[in-house]
């Protein structure tokens, strides 16, 4: 086994990426890109340990995909993410790769490893073949190099170099600034970095997402409370009572959240917004749904439809159905025709029948965001 830890950086925000999903979550058949890339790199060399650096909001979800890797929460910058991950590195060498470089060939990895003792940091680079102008002046292009990842560093040298508040855009720049030695090897055009989205066309080996559909159910129930505003589906109903709850008690929205999380395999509402957390006391449930919808799109899904059943002896739902549909459609970012609402009484049986509260059941369907057709 090699005395090398591999870190795959996957904690970015994809803010420049012109797709609905974050790049690390694009589906390659049924696999998120981060898993596809990490598994591929794992077959290229016998790494002692593989660390996947995850966005703090996604680490628990990422954990659902594999038991083979160590997941570490990243920071606000690439460098912070590296620092967090280095805390878990005990090997002499560390190889750091951007998930954004999805097409790295094995030859680059092997050459980095062959050169591991030749400098503090081994870096793949590309020469520039076009004429280069800097501040309107032509400069000698032979002096220009395009720096790629993965880079292989001496762990001690990298840890020392990052004891600084200066932000470097790559590992070699930090090591160089700390008087470490650098060896450049030949990079690869296959290691192109996904930044804006159009680069996807340059990596033909990435398979299209599967056409699978994913279904999740949600259920929530709340007791009435007198003299409180009632919110249902994000709208205020004209009645003199509301729902007893830690949040605003919007039982319909809570049920929708669970259906969406169920379809994405992402747990339940309590894992995202614990009812013991003071910050959610009295919170507008629309804010919670917005956060979940952003999560669903970020991690590579599109919402197909949602079907809801409201079980209520009171209040009467029919007069408000259209308004609730419009509200939910807007919050989910889908057309109104894809939100269905059914309402039923409990035939005066049980606690709902005794008009003590309301229950809502939902079914959501998701599909993968199809990045290949856009």
Ligand X SMILES: Nc1ccn([C@@H]2O[C@H](COP(=O)(O)OP(=O)(O)OP(=O)(O)O)[C@@H](O)[C@H]2O)c(=O)n1
**Binding site per annotation, positions:** 220-222, 246-247, 254, 268-270, 273-277, 344-347, 351, 354
Name which of ligand LQXTBERG, ligand X, none residue 169 binds, using a CB cut-off of 5 to 8 Å depending on partner kind: ligand LQXTBERG
With vertex at residue 50, the alpha carbon angle to CA 45 and CA 51, rounded to the nearest 5 degrees, is 150
**Residue of 27, 78, 222, 286 interacting with ligand LQXTBERG (CB under 6 A):** 78
State the Cα–Cα distance between residues 76 and 66, nearest whole angstrom: 24
Q: Which helix (H) or strand (E) holds 259?
A: helix 251-264
Which residues make beta-bridge pairs with 267? none
Of 22-30, 44-52, 143-151, 216-224: span binding ligand LQXTBERG (CB under 6 A): 143-151
Burial 189-208 (b: 16+ CB within 10 A, else e): eebbbbeebebbeeeeebee
Name which of ligand LQXTBERG, ligand X, none residue 14 binds, using a CB cut-off of 5 to 8 Å depending on partner kind: ligand X
Is 191 an interacting residue with respect to ligand LQXTBERG (CB under 6 A)?
Answer: no
Tokens of 343: 């309402």
Binding mask 168-187 for ligand LQXTBERG (x = CB under 6 A): -xx-----------------
Q: How far is the CB of 169 from ligand LQXTBERG (least distance, A)?
A: 4
Nearer to ligand LQXTBERG, 27 or 78 (CB): 78
Which residues make beta-bridge pairs with 27? 32
Tokens of 231: 């919110």
Given a contact cutoff of 8 angstroms between Cβ atoms, the answer to whether 233 and 253 are in contact is yes
State the Cα–Cα distance between residues 242 and 220, nearest whole angstrom: 15
Tokens of 42: 């794992």
Name which of ligand X, ligand LQXTBERG, none residue 361 binds, using a CB cut-off of 5 to 8 Å depending on partner kind: none
Size of the site for ligand LQXTBERG (CB under 6 A): 9
Of 125-133, 142-150, 275-283, 339-347: span binding ligand LQXTBERG (CB under 6 A): 142-150
Among 321, 322, 264, 254, smallest CA distance to 296 is for: 264
**Residue of 40, 145, 193, 314 interacting with ligand LQXTBERG (CB under 6 A):** 193
The residues binding ligand X (CB under 6 A) are 9-17, 24, 53, 74-78, 81, 98-100, 193, 195
């Amino acid at each position: 086994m090699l005395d090398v830890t591999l870190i795959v950086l996957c904690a970015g925000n994809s803010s420049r990426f012109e797709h609905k999903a974050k790049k690390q979550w694009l589906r390659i058949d049924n696999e998120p890109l981060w898993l596809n890339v990490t598994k591929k790199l794992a077959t290229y060399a016998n790494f002692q340990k593989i660390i996947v650096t995850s966005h703090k909001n996604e680490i628990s979800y990422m954990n659902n995909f594999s038991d083979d890797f160590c997941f570490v929460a990243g920071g606000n910058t690439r460098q912070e993410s590296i620092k967090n991950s280095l805390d878990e590195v005990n090997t002499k060498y560390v190889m750091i790769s951007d998930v954004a470089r999805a097409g790295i060939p094995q030859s680059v990895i092997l050459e980095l490893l062959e050169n591991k003792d030749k400098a503090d940091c081994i870096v793949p680079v590309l020469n520039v073949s076009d004429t280069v102008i800097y501040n309107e002046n032509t400069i000698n292009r032979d002096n220009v190099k395009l720096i790629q990842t993965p880079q292989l560093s001496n762990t001690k040298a990298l840890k020392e170099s990052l004891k600084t508040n200066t932000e470097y855009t790559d590992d070699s720049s930090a090591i160089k600034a700390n008087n470490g030695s650098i060896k450049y090897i030949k990079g690869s055009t296959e290691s192109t970095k996904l930044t804006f989205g159009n680069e996807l066309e340059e990596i033909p080996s990435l398979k299209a997402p599967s056409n699978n559909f994913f279904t999740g159910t949600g259920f929530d129930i709340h007791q009435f409370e007198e003299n409180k505003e009632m919110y249902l589906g994000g709208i205020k109903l004209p009645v003199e009572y509301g729902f007893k709850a830690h949040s605003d008690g919007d039982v319909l929205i809570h049920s929708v959240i669970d259906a969406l999380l169920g379809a994405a395999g992402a747990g339940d509402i309590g894992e995202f917004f614990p009812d013991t957390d003071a910050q959610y006391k009295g919170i507008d449930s629309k804010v919670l749904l917005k956060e979940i919808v952003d999560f669903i799109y970020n991690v590579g899904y599109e919402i197909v439809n949602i079907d809801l059943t409201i079980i209520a002896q009171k209040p009467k739902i029919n007069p408000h159905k259209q308004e609730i549909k419009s509200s939910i459609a807007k919050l989910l970012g889908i057309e109104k025709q894809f939100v269905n609402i059914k309402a039923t009484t409990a035939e005066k049986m049980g606690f709902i029948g005794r008009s003590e509260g309301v229950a809502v059941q939902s079914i959501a369907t998701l599909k993968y965001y199809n990045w290949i057709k856009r």
